[in-house]
C-alpha cells in the first residue's frame, strides 16, 4: 500500500491485490540515484512491508504526482498536485530512500565492468 497525499488534505490509498507472492523468497531491491518515481514507490512499499532489503545508494527522491492542465489559450501547464507517501509515512519526494546496505559504484568499477551492487545483492539473496 502507498498513499497519494494531495495538498487539500485528501488522501488516496493504493493497495496491491493478490497477497504476498514473494513470501518465503529472499528479496532484495537495488536502488541508486537513478531510482525515481514509480521505482521508489515500489521499493518503498516492499521495504516498509518487510518484503525486501534495499541495497545500493540513496534513491533520487521523486515522489510527486503531476497533472497536465490545459489552458484556454491552447497551452498547458504541469502542476504538482500530490506527493507519494510510503506505508510507514516516508515522503519520497522530500527524502528519497536510504538503502539498508550501502554499496557504491566507483568510476574504476565502471571502467572494469564490475558491479559491486549486484554482487552484494546476489550475496544477500543466497545467504
List of residues 6+ apart from 77 with CB closer than 8 A: 68, 69, 71
Check: CB of residue 70 under 8 Å from CB of residue 56.
Answer: no
Is 127 tagged catalytic?
no
Cα–Cα distance list, 39 to 33, 72, 77, 91, 124 (Å):
11, 35, 25, 14, 20
Of the residues 7, 13, 35, 37, only one is catalytic, namely 37
Of the residues 10, 13, 48, 78, only one is catalytic, namely 48
Is 13 tagged catalytic?
no
Cell of 121: 545483492
How many whole angstroms separate alpha carbon 61 and alpha carbon 22?
A: 25
Of the residues 58, 62, 95, 115, only one is catalytic, namely 62
Is 62 tagged catalytic?
yes
Query: Which residues are identified as catalytic?
Result: 37, 48, 62
Amino acid at each position: 500500500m502507498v498513499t497519494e497525499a494531495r495538498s487539500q488534505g485528501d488522501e488516496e490509498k493504493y493497495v496491491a491485490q493478490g497477497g504476498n507472492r514473494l513470501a518465503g523468497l529472499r528479496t532484495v531491491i537495488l536502488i541508486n540515484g537513478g531510482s525515481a518515481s514509480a521505482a521508489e514507490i515500489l521499493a518503498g512499499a516492499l521495504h516498509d512491508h518487510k518484503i525486501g532489503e534495499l541495497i545500493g545508494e540513496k534513491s533520487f527522491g521523486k515522489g510527486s504526482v503531476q497533472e497536465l492542465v490545459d489552458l484556454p489559450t491552447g497551452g498547458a501547464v504541469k502542476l504538482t498536485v500530490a506527493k507519494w507517501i510510503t506505508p510507514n509515512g516516508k515522503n519520497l519526494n522530500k527524502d528519497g530512500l536510504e538503502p539498508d546496505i550501502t554499496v557504491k559504484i566507483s568510476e574504476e568499477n565502471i571502467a572494469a565492468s564490475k558491479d559491486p551492487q549486484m554482487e552484494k545483492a546476489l550475496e544477500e539473496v543466497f545467504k
